[in-house]
Structure 1
Amino acid sequence: MTGLPDIVIIVDQHEEYTALQECITLGIPTICLIDTNCDPDLADISIPANDDAISLIRLILNKLVFAICEGRSGYIRNP
């Protein structure tokens, strides 16, 4: 990577706690799928979900990717 990402999506906050702490330290916004063993206050955007259900993770990530792509297509950069 040549720079910092605009946003980070974390599927399992409990397993990826170190990555979450790095994002907080660097000021990178996070979207976290929050299960019952997670702290929703650590994430910028919390999505309550079962982080063990592969089909649910796939559905949520597909929706997020679609929304990001749709948002980027309407964004015009100034030269």
Structure 2
Amino acid sequence: MTRLPDIVIVLDQQKEYIALRECAILGIPTISLVDTNCDPDFANISIPANDDTMTSIRLILNKLVFAIYEGRSLHIRNR
């Protein structure tokens, strides 16, 4: 990578705890799927969801990707 990412999406807080800590240190905002066994305070934006099923993960990631594309297209049009 040539630069830091604008945002990081974490699917499993328990498995990716080190990545969340690194993002906090570097000041990178994070979006995290938060199951009942996770702490929502570790992420900048917490989305309550079941992080164990692909159906849940796929649904939320599709919505996030759509929102990112929509936001980028609005940003480009308003320049």
TM-score range, shorter chain: over 0.9
Q: Secondary structure, in 3 states, of the residue corresponding to 1:74?
A: helix
Which consecutive aligned stretches of 4+ in structure 1 deviate over 6 angstroms post-superposition? none
Aligned equivalent of 2:74: 74
Which whole-Å CA distance do the structure 1 matches of 2:59 and 2:19 have between them?
Answer: 23
Q: What is the CA RMSD across the aligned residues, in angstroms?
A: 1.3
| Overall identity of the aligned pairs, in % | 72
For residues 11-66 of structure 1, give each alpha carbon's deviation from its aligned partner in whole angstroms, at most 9, with x where no partner exists: 00010001000000000000000011111011100000010010110000000000
Which whole-Å CA distance do the structure 2 matches of 1:42 and 1:17 have between them?
Answer: 9
1:1-79 paired onto structure 2 within 5 Å: 1-76=1-76
TM superposition score normalised by structure 1: 0.93
Instruction: Identify unmatched segments of 5+ residues in structure 2.
Output: none
TM superposition score normalised by structure 2: 0.93
The number of aligned residues is 78
Q: Secondary structure, in 3 states, of the residue corresponding to 2:46?
A: strand
Instruction: Identify unmatched segments of 5+ residues in structure 1.
Output: none
